A and B are shown apart, each in its own frame.
Chain A
């Protein structure tokens, strides 16, 4: 089977929904600018693109109408390339990478744009017409459980204190702030230009976040609970894209490539503790890669909630010092459909920067799922 490589990765700035700089920017336009930049940066001949696969968690309104196709048009991708929109909630754009990997190994193309986008300012997380199934809600209400409640459940299940959550959040902001100060995001952020606006900076990181300030916040989801807005990833606008190619194509075209996809996995878990999804997904991915946790040098674990991330770290036995070196979603933001491409692309670039061999990118998914990707540096 062909080897699959990540050749390049870029993203838009991530800014807080409604009050951030990207709130006024259409998601299709945002994603198109990111993809156009990815193609330009990588130098691939656009005519070689097989498919544009765009993850999106709420594909309606400006994100509807097979938004991937219109993003392709806006980005100047040749009409000969196909396009599809993928929804696996927060795992959507990591799924787009998995689909490309599968297609490449099936000899069904060599060059794939794997992207993700979410404007949480412009399209509410449950969509404009949330229409749950009354029978399912009656017999299995967990199917519709609110994400914040799942974090509360994990906090209770694992006995994770509010203090521990706040310490985790403070650490995430500190890492992201340090990375921003060291210009570590410069290579990945693509400025977004609309009219006279030129948006080039992340907007969610709060330098100087401290435990005293976080301790003053009220619980956001359960008045008797411990999860606050400060220990949750913020609603965010953003887009990210990864160029995925067969290794043969990359070599033939002089593309260096930054990492090879070693294994992929998805797994289901109970919806009421959906945040634990990375644990079974990671176990599968490790087995498929023939690796153990000890082999994994760097981990990108999506921080939907601090309680959720801590529960995964505890249950999986992850080494926290290897996780989210440049900060996670609590600090950087979590534009649902875009996060999978961000953390997978970020992992590849971190392996390169840190001179490490194996990395894991994994995230939880609403409804009770996990998704994981193991990369090997080239």
Chain B
């Protein structure tokens, strides 16, 4: 803090920082920039910042920057939207071609990239604004901290296109719920809490905090122009003595919890608030969130939950109604209720 600042630290945009510099790494969909003080910024640059294969590759690269003298990472950009999630057109193309092995590998690649961010040896702070949906939300959930612009719409909206979160979104919300509710509310509560959260979407940063997409310790910036600076300050604070998180064992209820959630879904079908395909998707989600074939005495590992996420996703994308939902969103920008 000595000397006179030529540029106010509290207000800058990524464009200012990268104007005179070469990226540390770059591909067709993302770049990594050195933004000073040993902090790097991973910038998604695809259309609407959708997440595709090159983005996932760059996430993996970003998680390994410590050897290049980087001590903290920000994921952020100057664009109106942080990320609207997976490149759905790519997924639909694979589904229509029946390229199941490629699709499965894509899911696994996403899980690996998210996991690399989560357990990176440097702290990761997501600076989010605008739409933070699906895979974009999963990036934020896997970060050590989030700095959110007040006008942030955040959620795991996968169920609206007939799939369940498969890049660790279920895992991360479960880990949080299990920690929040440890020993207080029994084995079914974390699963039902996350079930409700996944069917909700936050319309603001405060809403995201209420719904658990943001932790109480995550920051909110009123000024969009100070978002990256605020995130950098947070990242530098975390960098001091940083230790990556330890994987958690999750005590989940198994079949009995899934059945309890299924009864709620079925009630929705009867009273007209859910469709037949909502029941299929909700039942698959319930299976993931309750730990699959387990029991409260047999905790599941985080990687067990990733496996369940992948299997649920692969089952659902093979259904006709899920494909209809995805295509409707792509072609008509409309959520299809089928």
Contact = CB atoms under 8 A, between A and B. Distances in A.
Contact of A222 (B257, B263, B270): B270
Contacts of B123: none
Given A134-B256, A144-B263, A222 B271 contact: yes
A185 interface: no
B189 to A, nearest CB: 6
Given A219-B271, A222-B270, A223-B272, A131 B185 contact: no
A221 B270 contact: yes
B267 A146 contact: yes
Interface in B250-266: 253, 255-257, 259-260, 263
Interface string A122-138: 00001011111110010
A149 B268 CA distance: 12
A134 B259 contact: yes
Contact of B256 (A126, A132, A146): A132
A103 interface: no
B271 A129 contact: no
Nearest to B260: A130
B186 to A, nearest CB: 4
Given A131-B257, A222-B271, A146 B263 contact: yes
Nearest to B253: A131
A134 B294 CA distance: 12
Nearest to B270: A222
A291 interface: no
A129 B267 CA distance: 18
B271 A223 contact: yes
B271 A131 contact: no
B188 interface: yes
Interface string A110-153: 00000000000000001011111110010000001010010000
Contacts of B253: 129, 131
Given A221-B271, A223-B272, A128 B186 contact: yes
Contacts of A219: 271-272
Contact of B187 (A129, A132, A225): A129
A129 B186 contact: yes
B263 A131 contact: no
B263 A220 contact: no
Contacts of B256: 131-134
A149 B185 contact: no
Contacts of B189: 128-129
B259 A129 contact: no
A129 B259 CA distance: 12
A129 B270 contact: no
A199 B263 CA distance: 36
B271 A132 contact: no
Given A134-B255, A223-B272, A128 B260 contact: no
Given A221-B267, A221-B270, A223-B272, A129 B255 contact: no
A132 B259 contact: yes
Interface range on chain B (Cβ under 8 Å from partner) = 10 to 19
Contacts of A128: 185-186, 188-189
B3 to A, nearest CB: 56
B270 A223 contact: yes
Contact of B260 (A131, A146, A223): A131
Interface in B187-205: 187-189
A128 B253 CA distance: 13
Nearest to A61: B185
Nearest to B267: A146
Contacts of A223: 270-272
Given A129-B185, A129-B188, A134-B255, A220 B260 contact: no
Interface string B154-195: 000000000000000000000000000000011111000000
A130 B290 CA distance: 13
Interface in A153-212: none
B271 A220 contact: yes
A130 B188 contact: yes
A144 B264 CA distance: 11
Contacts of A137: 259
A137 B253 CA distance: 16
A216 B146 CA distance: 45
A221 B272 CA distance: 9
A219 B270 CA distance: 10
Contacts of A222: 270-271
Contact of B270 (A126, A131, A149): A149
A21 to B, nearest CB: 25
Contacts of A133: 256
Contacts of A132: 256, 259-260, 263
A126 B272 CA distance: 22
B294 to A, nearest CB: 12
Nearest to B181: A128
A330 B189 CA distance: 31
A209 B47 CA distance: 56
Interface in A217-232: 218-223, 225
Contacts of A126: 260
Contacts of A149: 270
B254 to A, nearest CB: 9
A62 to B, nearest CB: 13
A221 B253 CA distance: 27
Interface string B262-284: 01000100111000000000000
B1 to A, nearest CB: 48
Most chain A beta-carbon contacts within 10 A, residue among B189, B257, B271: B271
B2 to A, nearest CB: 54
A148 B255 CA distance: 24
B259 to A, nearest CB: 5
A149 B271 CA distance: 10
7 contacts: A129-B185, A129-B186, A131-B188, A132-B259, A134-B259, A146-B263, A220-B271
Interface of A: 126, 128-134, 137, 144, 146, 149, 218-223, 225
- 10 tightest A-B CB contacts, nearest first: A223-B272, A129-B186, A131-B256, A130-B260, A134-B255, A129-B188, A222-B270, A132-B259, A128-B185, A134-B259
Given A131-B187, A132-B256, A146-B263, 20 more contacts: A128-B185, A128-B189, A129-B185, A129-B186, A129-B187, A129-B189, A130-B263, A131-B188, A131-B253, A131-B260, A134-B255, A134-B256, A137-B259, A144-B263, A149-B270, A218-B272, A219-B271, A219-B272, A220-B271, A221-B270
